[in-house]
Amino acid sequence: MSSDVRELVRRMHDFLRSVRLVKQRRADEQPRVPLGAVGILAQIDRLAAGCHARELAMRAQLDPSTVSRAIATLVSHGLVERRPDPSDKRAHVLALTPDGRTALADTYDWYAGVLARALAGWTPDEVAAFNAALHRFTRDIEVALGNNDNLEAAR
């Protein structure tokens, strides 16, 4: 392994530590969305017509039991509701409640504020380059992992 790759491993550890710190601070300052549930809430929001828990687990690349627990938490907080599935009376689709939409928007605003402060000394070109590199990196990691591995351990 080259020294550049070893250094990247160290930077990734630093980055993941920073992500954990940001998530914990967000949970302390914006507790409406429980810790670890922002991603699930965002996935449900992206599927405007609602979705089934199984579909959500596949899209989020998480174990169905993890998604089920997160959904139960989001429902208990009034952020997500289960609606009868019009095509299958035995099933339910998940949808954000109005409070869930507001909480998600507030959460994104909070994250945007943190990033704006962190990147205040960066030029627009540096921010754009970082954004492009991070997008490429995350896509390439999924490809390197075969894009079908359960990525829950990395979350």
Please tell me the distance from the alpha carbon of residue 123 to that of residue 140, in angstroms, as a whole number: 26
Tell me what pLDDT residue 138 has: 93
- The pair phi, psi for residue 30, each rounded to 5°, is -130, 70
Tokens 């754009």: give the residue: 128
Decide: residue 30, CB within 10 A, 0-12 exposed, 13-18 middle, 19+ buried.
Answer: middle
Please tell me the distance from the alpha carbon of residue 77 to that of residue 33, in angstroms, as a whole number: 8
**92 vs 131: which has the higher pLDDT:** 131
Tokens 């380059």: give the residue: 129
The one-letter code for the residue type at 33 is V
Of the given ranges (25-29, 63-67, 80-84, 144-148), which has the lowest mean pLDDT?
A: 144-148
Domains of the chain, each with CATH number or no CATH: 3-118 (1.10.10.10)
Tell me what pLDDT residue 49 has: 73
The one-letter code for the residue type at 144 is A
Q: Encode pLDDT of 44-98 as tens digits.
A: 998 867 788 888 898 888 899 999 999 999 999 999 999 888 888 888 899 999 9
Please tell me the distance from the alpha carbon of residue 96 to that of residue 45, in angstroms, as a whole number: 6
> How many residues are recorded in the chain?
155
Tell me what pLDDT residue 17 has: 97
Mean pLDDT of the chain: 90
Share of the chain above pLDDT 70, in %: 94
Q: Where are the alpha helices (DSSP H) in 30-152?
A: 38-46, 53-60, 64-76, 98-118, 124-144
